[in-house]
Amino acid sequence: MRILVVEDDPDLRRVLTDALKDNGYVVDSAGDGVEGHYLGENEPYDAVILDLGLPEMDGIKVLEKWRKAGRTMPVLILTARDRWSDKVKGLDAGADDYVVKPFFTEEVLARIRTLLRRSAGISTSDIECGPLRIDTRAARVTVEGNPVKLTSLEYRLLAYLAHHKGRVVSRTELVEHLYDQDFDRDSNTIEVFVGRLRKKLGISLIQTLRGLGYKLDESAAEPEANAAH
């Protein structure tokens, strides 16, 4: 899951970026409205944290422009405590939720998880797929109750597929959502990671659809050794 943080306060931007990274997300950040708007318009984010008081272009304007251009990613706005009217303006401009400053990072993380789940049509913080269970709060994965240790990239890959369970996800889409903008992207490496992930899970929940991409599907849950690829 790839998140954009638009916040002009460098300390706050760092706190949010670090917390998101620690929780298994890929993060891009911008310190002003123009750069933030550009990134949100051109890169495929799974969610955005958008401060409203920004230099160059204010957050409301940024949000209005995205929505007008048909950008539908979930947006969490950050508002100042004494500016209740900002919340109303922000929600009217197309924000999905808001957090009032000062906030606890945990609250922002919880709201981001909720927005990601909601946009994927999932109602609980645990995502299940056959014997696989992903606790998105703790970034923990189990198969039939047994913990599976994944690297952060493997976790991101699995979490992305799980949020889009039952749908074919192309390699290009995975690359765009698993790496930040500065990463040297090579869609061939995705295949390697999928292979490793399958081996670690020990069950074949991830189907390969030649030329199309991958699909997490519980109907394919057989022991990996017997499964066809």
Q: Which residues bind Ca ion (CB under 5 A)?
A: 8, 51, 53
Question: Rounded to the nearest whole angstrom, what is the least distance from the CB of residue 18 to Ca ion in the complex?
Answer: 18
Cβ-based nearer residue to Ca ion, 10 or 44: 10
Dig out the tokens for 108 from the structure. 């922002």
The string of DSSP codes covering 76-102 is EEEEETT-HHHHHHHHHTT-SEEEEES
Cβ-based nearer residue to Ca ion, 19 or 175: 19
Dig out the tokens for 55 from the structure. 């230099």
- Return all residues near 193 (Cβ < 8 A) that are at least 6 apart: 153, 154, 157
Q: Identity (one letter) of the amino acid at 98? A: Y
Give the nearest residue (CB) to Ca ion. Answer: 53
Question: Rounded to the nearest whole angstrom, what is the least distance from the CB of residue 52 to Ca ion in the complex?
Answer: 7
CA-based angle 110:113:118, to the nearest 5?
A: 125
Question: Rounded to the nearest whole angstrom, what is the least distance from the CB of residue 101 to Ca ion in the complex?
Answer: 9
Q: How far is residue 1's CA from residue 181's CA, in Å, rounded to a whole number?
A: 13
Cβ-based nearer residue to Ca ion, 59 or 213: 59
- Return all residues near 89 (Cβ < 8 A) that are at least 6 apart: 60
Cis upstream peptide for 102 (omega within 30°): yes
Nearest to 26 by CA among 45, 51, 1, 52: 1
Question: Rounded to the nearest whole angstrom, what is the least distance from the CB of residue 11 to Ca ion in the complex?
Answer: 11
Question: Rounded to the nearest whole angstrom, what is the least distance from the CB of residue 7 to Ca ion in the complex?
Answer: 6
Cβ-based nearer residue to Ca ion, 8 or 43: 8
Dig out the tokens for 220 from the structure. 């394919």
Cβ-based nearer residue to Ca ion, 83 or 133: 83
Question: Rounded to the nearest whole angstrom, what is the least distance from the CB of residue 53 to Ca ion in the complex?
Answer: 4
Cβ-based nearer residue to Ca ion, 53 or 94: 53
